[in-house]
Structure 1
Amino acid sequence: MAAADALPAVLQQAMAAEDINPEAGTGRIERPVAHARHDMVSSANPLASRAGLQILRQGGSAADAAIAMQMVLNLVEPQSSGIGGGAFIVTYDARQRRVRSYDGRETAPAAARSDRFMRDGHAMPFMAAVNSGLSVGTPGVLRALALMHAREGHLPWKTLFQPAIRLAEQGFKVSPRLHALLEQNQALRKQPAAAAYFYNAQGQAWPVGYRLRNPALAQVLRGIAERGPDAFYKGEVARDIVAAIAHHAVPGDMTLADLSGYRALERAPLCAPYRSAYTLCGPPPPSSGPLTVIQMLEILTHTPIDRYPVDSVQAVHYFAEAGKLAYADRDLYVADPAFVKVPVKDLLSPGYLALRATLIEPGRSMGPALPGDPARMRMLRGAGNTPEIPSTSHLVVVDDHANVVSMTTTIESAFGSKIFVDGFLLNNQLTDFSLSDVDAQGRPVANRVEPLKRPRSSMAPMLILKHDKPYMAIGSPGGSAIINYVAKAVRGVLDRGLNIQEAIDLPNLGSRNRGLEIEKYTALHRLIPGLRAMGYTVHERDFPSGLQGVVITPQGLEGGADPRREGLAIGD
C-alpha cells in the first residue's frame, strides 16, 4: 500500500484541503538578492517591509521594526497572521550578546477537554473543526511582542503602531494574492462580519487595486498603542472576542478569564552546533520546527548528499529520507513541555542522529520511518493525527547595531477560524492539536488537547551564528512543510554556498513521512521516474513557501524574499 494511502482519514482531509484552498499566490515574482550596508527587513508584503524600514530610520531597534511590521501584516495580509493569532520569535540581543526566544503560542481555554474534536468516538472532519468556535485558541502575539519590546525595544510602544493605524484609516490596495485567496474561500463568505468587510454586496471579492479601509482595526490598534496589550486582553475588545466565539454556529468556550490570564513566555533558546563554524538556534518546544530542522541537517552530515547536484535524484532522496526520520520523531515526542516530557537533549544527541542516519540506504526509499527511542519513551506514547494547513507569515529584521529578529506569526489556516471581530480575524490554532486523544492502541497522544495547553507548532524561525556572531536569519510559513522549507534554505546557504535569494528560490521538496512531495512546475518534475524506481510515492504539489531571510556578510547585508509570494527585502 502506498504511504499516502495509509494515512488516517483526517490527514487525507487536510492534504486535500491544501490542494483545494492552498496559500497560493499569482506565480513567481523573480527578484535579485537585496543588498544593504546598515540594516535590512524582509517580510511577506512590501507595505510591511517599508513600515519596518521606516521604524529603523527613526532610530528603532530590530524588535521595534518587527512590531510595526506585524501590525501592518495584520491589515494587508489578514489571511496569514495578526493580533488574533500567535507567534514564535528568536532574536539576537547585541547589547547583551545573547540569543533570546519568545513564545507567543496560543493556549487552549481552561474548559477544553481532550475529546474536543471527537464525535461518536471519531475525529470530526478537519474543515468542520477549523471553521468553528472550538478551534480558537487564546491569542498570544501581542503579549509576546510586548515582552520582546520590554527587553529589546528602543522607541516608545505607541510609535510602533502608527504605520498600521494610518494604513487602516487611509486604506490599502488589495493585492493579487489577497484577491485570489478571497475569491476561492467559501467559508469566509458564510461569516457575516467577515463577508461585510472582505466582499461586496454581491458576495464578490474586492478586486485587485481596490482601496480597502479598516476603521475598526484602526480603533483597536489605537487603544493598544495607548494602553498596551491590556486594551486587547481586557475590556471591550475581550468581550467582543468571547461573544463572537460563543455565538458561532459551532460555539467555543473561551472566557474573559482565559484572555486576561494569558502570558507569553521567554524560553531558553534551542541551540546546537553545526559543522565546525555554525550554531543553529530557534525556539524550543512547543514548536517542533527548529528541533526537527536541526535533526534533519545533522542527519544529512552523515550522508553524501553534497556530492550530487541539488536537482538530482540522489540529493532529493537523501533530503527526503532525513526528513522522514526527523518528522517521525517530531510526531511522537513533541508537545507542550509543561504537559509532557520532550526529550530534546536525547533527540539532538550526535550519537543518536548518527545512528538514525545509518537507516538511510543509498539506492531506495525506506518507506514510512518509525520514530527512534533515544530516551526509552516510545512505547508509552501514541502518534496523533495533527493536520497543519499552511497560512502563516515570516519576517526578519537586522538593525545597524546587529540586533536581529526572526519571527514566524500565524492565525493557522487561511483566514483562521473565519471569525472576524473588530476588524481582525481569530485563529483556528487549536486544530494544531491532535484531533484524537489516543492512538489505535489506546495510548495517550502527547499533543492531545488539554486545558491551558499550547498546541505543537512547526514554525521554525531560525537564527544562525557563525563563530558566535549573527550570520543568518530565516523562516517561512507553510504548516508542517515549514520544516522542509527552512532546512532547504539553510542548507542552500551553509552547505551549497548559495546567496540567500538563490537558496530561497530552490524548488521545494521533502517528505513529511507520508510519501515524497515536490514542487509543481519545477526542474524536479523530470526526476519523478527515477524517484518512483527507488520506491517513492511522489506527489507534485503547490508549495507556496514564504521564506524571508537575511545573511550578514563582511561586505554588508544580503536579503531574500520568496518569489512565490509578494514579499520584499529592503534596507539602507
Structure 2
Amino acid sequence: MSKPLRALLLALVLPFAAAGASAAQASDTSSAQIRTHPPGTAIASGHALATKAGMDIIRAGGNAFDAAVAVSATLSVVEPISSGIGGGGFFLLHDAKTGKDIFVDARETAPASATPAAYLDEKGELNRDRATNGPWSAGIPGLPAALVHLAQNYGRLPLKTTLAPAIRLAREGFEIYPRLERGYASRRAVMERYRGTRAVFLADGTPPMTGEILRQPELARTIELIAEKGFDGFYRGETAKKLLAAVKEEGGKWRIDELTGYQVKEREPLRFRYRDWDITTAPPPSSGGVALAEMLQILEGWDLSKLDEAHRHHVIVEAMRRAYRDRTIYLGDPDFVKVPMRRLMSLDYAAGLRATIHPEKATPSELLPGVPAPLEDDETTHYSIIDADGNRVSATQTVNLLYGSGLVAPGTGVLLNNEMDDFALRPGTPNAFGVMGFAANAPEAGKRMLSSMTPSFIESKDRIAVLGAPGGSRIITEVLVGILGYDEGLNAQQVAALPRFHHQWMPDAISAEKGAIGPAAVSALEAMGHTVNAAESPWGNLQTVSWNKRTNTLEGGTDPRNPVGSAEVVDSRIP
C-alpha cells in the first residue's frame, strides 16, 4: 500500500475510531509460521449484551454456531428497532471440521395474499402505508426456524441453553438506549395503532425513554416455547394461533400452512477472488454477493493506491453505479426467477463494464439502460464470530425499517417485519430505500424478497476476516469499503470505523458521510459531472472480527457510530 493512501485512510478513520478488541499471541509474535487454529474466540455485535451472551455460551462449551444462536436471539430482544424473531436473516457459516462454507437462507416469504394488486391504491399507485406498516407489510418470519436449524445441524448445545440469555433479558428487561427512544418517536404514530404494540412499548403509560427498563414477558414466553419445542414452538401451537389472529384482527391474510410450511434453505455461497483475497459471500436472494463481485472485479483493473482521492472515489462510484443497475434489473429469488449468474459473475463481463468507465467523466445513470438486456435493506443488525476451532459465522438479520411493521402480535411479544416493501410491489417505483425493482423481484406466494444483506468472509494467505453490516441498500457498499480497508492493511477496528460513501444507480448521486470525501475531491468529482451529497449523517453499523494466522492474534472491530455495540476477544490459552 502506498504511504500517501495509508495516511489518508488513517486520517479519515481517526475521527470515527473507538476502542476495539484484540488478543495478542501469548508467546513470540515474530514467528512467520502460519497457524492452523485461532488462539480463542472473537465476537463483534451491535449490542454488548448480545456479545456477552455469545461469549457466555462459548464458556459453557459451545462453538461459534451455538454462540450465533445466543447472539441472534439476544439481539432480537435488545434491538427490536433492527431485528427480531418476527423477521429473518442470512447466516454465512464456515465449518472448520469439514472445511465447508454454508449459506443459510432464513429470509421471510410472501403470503399468498400478497399480490401486486393488493398494494395499489384506487389510482393504481403504490399504497406506501400498506407496504410499510401493519399486517400487509409483513412476510412470514424466518429467524426462529434459522435458530432451530443452526442448533440442530451445527451446534453442540441444546436450545434451552443457547436461548437462555435472551429469555432472561426479555423477562428481566434491559436498559433503553437513545436509539430505541429516537426510533420509537419517529414511528410512534404507527406503533400506537396496534394494541399489542401499545402493551409492550406503553406498558407504563408513556413512550420508551432512555434509562428505563424495557421488559417483554410475552416475548420471553415465545422464545421459551422455541427452546422447548423447536420449530413447532413458533410455527405451530399457541404462538402460531396468536400470530394468525393478530394479522387477521388488523385486516391481513395469513394462513396456517404458510407458517407450518416455512423452510430454511441452505444454498451454495458465492466465491470469487479479488487481488490476494478469496471472498465468500451471499448468493441470491441476497443481491449483495453478486453486486460485491461485480464491483470488486471491475475495480481490479486499477491500482487504487496510485490514484488521487478524487479519481479513486470516481472509479469506485462508477463500479457501484453499474452493479446497482444490474441488481435492480436482474436479481430476485432464484427459486422463482432465472438469474443470469454466469454473466454477472464473469470476469469478462466485469472487464466490459470497466471499459465503459470514462477516467475523467461521470456516467449519467439515465444512460445505462433501465430495462433488461437479452439474456445469453440502519434498520438491520449484523454480528461476526470466529471461535478457537476456526468455525466462523457472519450473520445479518432484520425486520426491515425501524421497528418493522410496527405491529406486535398480542400475547406473543413478536414484532412483525415489514419486508414486503423489499419486493417490487409496483415495478419501477422506488421502495423505502429508494431502490427500484422489476419483474424478477415481484411478489409471489412463497417467494423470498430480494435483500441487500451481505455477510462475508475474506481470506488471504495469512489473514481471515468476517464482516457485514446493516444499512438497507447501503449494506453492500459498506462491505465493499470494509474489504478495501482490509486490503489496504487496516486492522479490524479501523475497518469498522472507515467513513462511508455510496451510489446505487438511482437516484444518480453520491451519498457521503461528513468528512468521507475531502473538499478538494468533492470539487473535482463535481467537475467530472457527479452530484455529491458530501455531509450526510453517519450510517451503518459494521461489525467485524479478524484472525492473523502469522502472529496468531484475534481482533474485533465494532462500529463507533453505534455506542452500544461491542467487540470482545477471549484468548483460550490464558486462564
**TM-score using structure 2 length:** 0.87
Counterpart check, 1:395 vs 2:383 = yes
- Secondary structure at the aligned position of 1:69 is classed as helix
The answer as to whether partners of 1:473 and 1:550 remain within 8 angstroms in 2 is yes
Counterpart check, 1:378 vs 2:373 = yes
Q: Partner amino acid for 2:388?
A: D
Equivalent of residue 393 in structure 2, options 396, 405, 412: 405
Structure 1 residues 259 and 296, CA gap change in structure 2 (3 angstroms): same
For 1:50-449, what aligned pairs fall within 5 Å after superposition?
A: 50-120=52-122, 122-186=124-188, 187-199=190-202, 204-248=206-250, 251-275=251-275, 277-308=276-307, 312-368=309-365, 378-379=373-374, 388=377, 390-421=378-409, 422-437=412-427, 445-449=439-443
The answer as to whether partners of 2:44 and 2:543 remain within 8 angstroms in 1 is yes
| Structure 1 range deviating more: 231-240 or 514-523 | 514-523
- Secondary structure at the aligned position of 2:301 is classed as coil
Q: Find the counterpart in structure 2 of residue 553 from structure 1.
A: 548
User: Any unmatched runs of 5+ in structure 2?
Assistant: 1-14, 24-38, 431-436, 571-575
Q: Partner amino acid for 1:73?
A: L
- Secondary structure at the aligned position of 2:118 is classed as coil
Equivalent of residue 517 in structure 1, options 501, 506, 510: 510
The answer as to whether partners of 1:462 and 1:474 remain within 8 angstroms in 2 is yes
Once residues 299 and 122 of structure 1 are traced to their aligned partners in structure 2, the CA distance between those partners, rounded to angstroms, is 39
Q: Partner amino acid for 1:541?
A: E
Q: Deviations over 1:85-113 (max 9, x none)?
A: 01111111001011111000111013332
Q: Partner amino acid for 1:198?
A: F
Structure 1 residues 128 and 439, CA gap change in structure 2 (3 angstroms): closer
Q: Partner amino acid for 2:394?
A: S
Q: Deviations over 1:112-159 (max 9, x none)?
A: 323232234633243442013111101011212222222211112211
Structure 1 residues 284 and 243, CA gap change in structure 2 (3 angstroms): same
Q: Find the counterpart in structure 1 of residue 434 from structure 2.
A: none
Q: Partner amino acid for 1:211?
A: I
The answer as to whether partners of 2:87 and 2:399 remain within 8 angstroms in 1 is yes
Counterpart check, 1:487 vs 2:480 = yes
The answer as to whether partners of 2:478 and 2:500 remain within 8 angstroms in 1 is yes
The total of aligned residue pairs comes to 526
Instruction: Tell me by how many angstroms 1:206 deviates.
Output: 2.3
Q: Partner amino acid for 1:231?
A: G
Instruction: Tell me by how many angstroms 1:379 deviates.
Output: 4.8
Q: Find the counterpart in structure 2 of residue 506 from structure 1.
A: 498
Once residues 415 and 268 of structure 1 are traced to their aligned partners in structure 2, the CA distance between those partners, rounded to angstroms, is 31
Once residues 375 and 134 of structure 2 are traced to their aligned partners in structure 1, the CA distance between those partners, rounded to angstroms, is 32
Structure 1 residues 470 and 65, CA gap change in structure 2 (3 angstroms): farther
RMSD between superposed Cα atoms in Å: 2.3
Equivalent of residue 568 in structure 1, options 566, 569, 572: 566
The answer as to whether partners of 1:325 and 1:370 remain within 8 angstroms in 2 is no
- Secondary structure at the aligned position of 2:441 is classed as coil
**TM-score using structure 1 length:** 0.87
- Secondary structure at the aligned position of 2:332 is classed as coil
Q: Find the counterpart in structure 1 of residue 433 from structure 2.
A: none
Instruction: Tell me by how many angstroms 1:512 deviates.
Output: 0.5
Once residues 98 and 147 of structure 2 are traced to their aligned partners in structure 1, the CA distance between those partners, rounded to angstroms, is 19
The answer as to whether partners of 2:226 and 2:232 remain within 8 angstroms in 1 is yes
The answer as to whether partners of 1:100 and 1:269 remain within 8 angstroms in 2 is yes
Once residues 209 and 328 of structure 2 are traced to their aligned partners in structure 1, the CA distance between those partners, rounded to angstroms, is 41
Instruction: Tell me by how many angstroms 1:284 deviates.
Output: 0.9
Once residues 408 and 392 of structure 1 are traced to their aligned partners in structure 2, the CA distance between those partners, rounded to angstroms, is 7
- Secondary structure at the aligned position of 1:560 is classed as strand
Once residues 93 and 209 of structure 1 are traced to their aligned partners in structure 2, the CA distance between those partners, rounded to angstroms, is 40
Q: Deviations over 1:377-431 (max 9, x none)?
A: 62589xxxxxx4x410001111110100000000110000011021121001111
| Structure 1 range deviating more: 69-78 or 538-547 | 538-547
Instruction: Tell me by how many angstroms 1:444 deviates.
Output: 6.3
Q: Deviations over 1:319-338 (max 9, x none)?
A: 11100010011110100111
User: Any unmatched runs of 5+ in structure 1?
Assistant: 1-27, 382-387
Once residues 419 and 314 of structure 2 are traced to their aligned partners in structure 1, the CA distance between those partners, rounded to angstroms, is 32
- Secondary structure at the aligned position of 1:474 is classed as strand
Once residues 114 and 197 of structure 1 are traced to their aligned partners in structure 2, the CA distance between those partners, rounded to angstroms, is 32
| Structure 1 range deviating more: 553-562 or 190-199 | 190-199
Instruction: Tell me by how many angstroms 1:48 deviates.
Output: 0.3
For 1:8-27, what aligned pairs fall within 5 Å after superposition?
A: none
Once residues 287 and 161 of structure 1 are traced to their aligned partners in structure 2, the CA distance between those partners, rounded to angstroms, is 27
Equivalent of residue 47 in structure 2, options 45, 48, 57: 45
- Secondary structure at the aligned position of 2:465 is classed as strand
Q: Deviations over 1:23-56 (max 9, x none)?
A: xxxxx97413310341111100000000001111
Q: Find the counterpart in structure 2 of residue 3 from structure 1.
A: none
Once residues 57 and 564 of structure 1 are traced to their aligned partners in structure 2, the CA distance between those partners, rounded to angstroms, is 29
The answer as to whether partners of 1:365 and 1:535 remain within 8 angstroms in 2 is yes
Q: Deviations over 1:238-276 (max 9, x none)?
A: 11111111222xx2221111000000001111111222x
Q: Partner amino acid for 1:480?
A: S
Q: Partner amino acid for 2:300?
A: T
Equivalent of residue 473 in structure 1, options 452, 466, 474: 466
The answer as to whether partners of 2:109 and 2:139 remain within 8 angstroms in 1 is yes
- Secondary structure at the aligned position of 2:381 is classed as strand
Q: Find the counterpart in structure 2 of residue 20 from structure 1.
A: none
| Structure 1 range deviating more: 537-546 or 237-246 | 537-546
Q: Deviations over 1:222-244 (max 9, x none)?
A: 11111112110001111111111
- Secondary structure at the aligned position of 1:122 is classed as coil
- Secondary structure at the aligned position of 1:119 is classed as coil
Once residues 565 and 159 of structure 2 are traced to their aligned partners in structure 1, the CA distance between those partners, rounded to angstroms, is 25
The answer as to whether partners of 2:17 and 2:494 remain within 8 angstroms in 1 is no
The answer as to whether partners of 1:548 and 1:560 remain within 8 angstroms in 2 is yes
- Secondary structure at the aligned position of 1:115 is classed as helix
Structure 1 residues 520 and 351, CA gap change in structure 2 (3 angstroms): closer
- Secondary structure at the aligned position of 1:524 is classed as coil
